[in-house]
Amino acid sequence: MAVPMTSLSRASNGDWFARKGIPKDVREAYKQAFGVSQEERFRRPGSLSTGSAKAELREWDATVTGRIEALRAAARGEGRSLNHREAHGLAGQWYAWFLEWRADLPVSEAAGAVELEGLEAAHSCRGSDAARAYLRERGRIGTFLTEREVTLTPEAEGFLVDVIEPEFRAAWALLDRQASGNFQPDERPQRHPKFKQAAPGKAARLTCWTLFEAWIAERRPGASTVNRWRAVFRGLEAYFEGRDIATISGDDAIAWKNTLVTPERTAGVVNDVWLRAARVAFGWARDNKRLTMNPFEGVTVAVGKAQPKVREREFLEEEWRVILNATTAPAPGRMAVHNLAARRWVPWICAYTGSRPGEVTQLRAEDFTRHKAGFWVMKINPEAGTVKGGQARVVPLHDHLIELGLIAFVEQAGKGPLFYDPEGQRVTREDPTNPVQAPWVKQRNKLAEWVRGLGVTDTNISPNHAWRHTFKRRAARAKIERRIRFAFCGHASDDVGDDYETPTVEDMAEELRLFPKYVLEVPVS
């Protein structure tokens, strides 16, 4: 049973406010541990920025969700056992946690004596079970374990309570001394061994890196995703030093998250790549019963104020003129025929179709055909390489592309890839976590370098992807319908009604007549 995210709203006084209901199956246990049974409430001052309020809400929501999932795991009997050293280490953590919790609460000089008298009465009148119940309640042991995301078997939990009893007595003795004004250093924590968090129930038998390998084997993501996420899992593996993923807690995930933002890595990249990769893979492990909870669920970093927007993402006229004029310039030195063809035609095809550059560099001669109505079309086909979303689409070609000689070039090529040499792929690797970069991707990257070398160096635009923005803006200014613009670019619409109005290729060809030609000072032939 999933625990839904909660939403942020404004209270009547302007404060940020949210509620999260406690599911029925854990209400009684949640009340015993945290004092509330129906819902938890989030409140922050209205002066907090929207971004900060949302970030704090996500952290708060993740904490409450973690508590709920830990209680459910305990109810399912998925707890772990404790050896002697682990029990004393965990009791030492309880000692520090209890003192921190009591730090801001008033303590009278007799408070400790009253607490210990209650413990002795439970022992003498009702036996060890009653004493354990007293310790669980007065020591808030259930709350402590849930916050630490530690789930124990009933036997281990009883053992821990027995080990905590001397710590409970020592904690109240210290609080009594402090209430009387004696704040001498406390040496008791030095006697506690370190407690290592371990898996609730059985281990997952996966490290962060082998999790990545297992996820790739089943999900078969694209090479670009694997290459982008490899650094994430290398980083996770180094940080957690080969630990079983079942030992990674929510606190561990947040500690790792806090190391990620650097001068070279923005908060946006951390959220969109690093934390998303961890959340997806660990979520896969949870869905496949390797984990009982995803420690990265809801973990994000706060994103600061966006940088000022200094320009639109389409090419300026002087920029597209530079690129298109250069498509017929003599190549410096000797250059492979496929590289020459890419420089000659890829910018023009992108300019008139709004296709992704990688979709164009993977095109084959057989992807160009004449429609029965007489116009030429180009098929963006996953069979040729990769297409975002895996959906093929057919787009008509602008008359200017035919005038420039594109179809003559395609027909001369005959068959196969137009813009890379299929026999030129010499590097092979069997490692699925480090796939060889596809040749059409390499060609796309070469074109980006070439465009930068032409003087189109503004880092606020992409040297390749800006053609999509340029196409859509020119199409919009030419009054081409929105659904037609989306169809050319392979963009999905949020409007469900648009699914009933998907344009035909004939519709697209008719609207394309409105798209203005790119006119250069020196005509291209």
Q: How many CB atoms lie within 10 A of CB 43?
A: 13
- Whether residues 390 and 444 fall in one domain: yes
Q: What is the DSSP letter of 500?
A: G
For residue 304, tell me if it sits in a domain.
no
Type of residue at 26: V
Type of residue at 384: A
* Structural domain range at position 138: 84-191
- Whether residues 331 and 439 fall in one domain: yes
For residue 322, tell me if it sits in a domain.
yes
- Per the prediction, the chain carries an average pLDDT of 85
- Whether residues 60 and 111 fall in one domain: no
- Whether residues 403 and 468 fall in one domain: yes
For residue 411, tell me if it sits in a domain.
yes
| Residue 418 confidence (pLDDT) above 60 | yes
Q: Note whether 301 and 255 are within 8 A (CB).
A: no
Q: How confident is the model at residue 197 (pLDDT cuts 50, 70, 90)?
A: low
- Whether residues 30 and 174 fall in one domain: no
- Whether residues 61 and 173 fall in one domain: no
Q: Is 27 exposed, middle or buried (0-12, 13-18, 19+ CB in 10 A)?
A: middle
Q: Rounded to an integer, what distance in angstroms lies between the CA atom of residue 107 and that of residue 178?
A: 9
| Residue 201 confidence (pLDDT) above 60 | no
Residues 6+ positions from 195 with CB-CB distance below 8 Å: 86, 89, 90, 92, 93
For residue 299, tell me if it sits in a domain.
no
Question: Torsion angle of alpha carbons 169, 173, 179, 185, nearest 10°?
Answer: -120
pLDDT tens-digit map of 53-76 = 887 777 677 667 767 776 776 676
CA distances from 484 to 177, 382, 396, 514 (A): 78, 21, 11, 12
pLDDT tens-digit map of 290-340 = 888 899 998 998 877 666 777 889 999 999 999 999 998 887 778 889 999
2-14 burial by CB neighbour count: b if 16+ within 10 A, else e? ebeebebeeeeee
* Closest C-alpha among 227, 200, 172 to residue 292: 200
For residue 402, tell me if it sits in a domain.
yes
Task: Specify the pLDDT at position 194.
Answer: 83
| Residue 402 confidence (pLDDT) above 90 | yes
For residue 42, tell me if it sits in a domain.
yes
For residue 134, tell me if it sits in a domain.
yes
Type of residue at 279: R
Question: CATH no. for residue 361?
Answer: 1.10.443.10
**Given 58, 75, 92, which residue is the final one in a domain?**
75
pLDDT tens-digit map of 137-177 = 888 888 888 777 787 777 788 899 999 999 999 998 888 88
Domain count, the chain: 4
Whole-model pTM: value is 0.55
Q: How many CB atoms lie within 10 A of CB 346?
A: 24
DSSP notation for 208-267: HHHHHHHHHHHH---HHHHHHHHHHHHHHHHHHTT--GGG--HHHHHHHHTTT-BTTB-H
- Whether residues 424 and 464 fall in one domain: yes
Q: How confident is the model at residue 3 (pLDDT cuts 50, 70, 90)?
A: very low
Task: Specify the pLDDT at position 256.
Answer: 94
For residue 198, tell me if it sits in a domain.
no
- Whether residues 364 and 400 fall in one domain: yes
**Given 144, 165, 191, which residue is the final one in a domain?**
191
Residues 6+ positions from 389 with CB-CB distance below 8 Å: 490, 492
**Given 47, 75, 103, which residue is the final one in a domain?**
75
| Residue 200 confidence (pLDDT) above 50 | no
- Whether residues 390 and 499 fall in one domain: yes
Q: Rounded to an integer, what distance in angstroms lies between the CA atom of residue 230 and that of residue 210?
A: 12
- Whether residues 425 and 397 fall in one domain: yes
- Whether residues 411 and 390 fall in one domain: yes
Q: Which residues are bridge partners to 9 per DSSP? A: 17
Q: How confident is the model at residue 242 (pLDDT cuts 50, 70, 90)?
A: confident
Q: What is the number of residues in the chain?
A: 525
Q: Rounded to an integer, what distance in angstroms lies between the CA atom of residue 126 and that of residue 106?
A: 30
- Whether residues 328 and 454 fall in one domain: yes
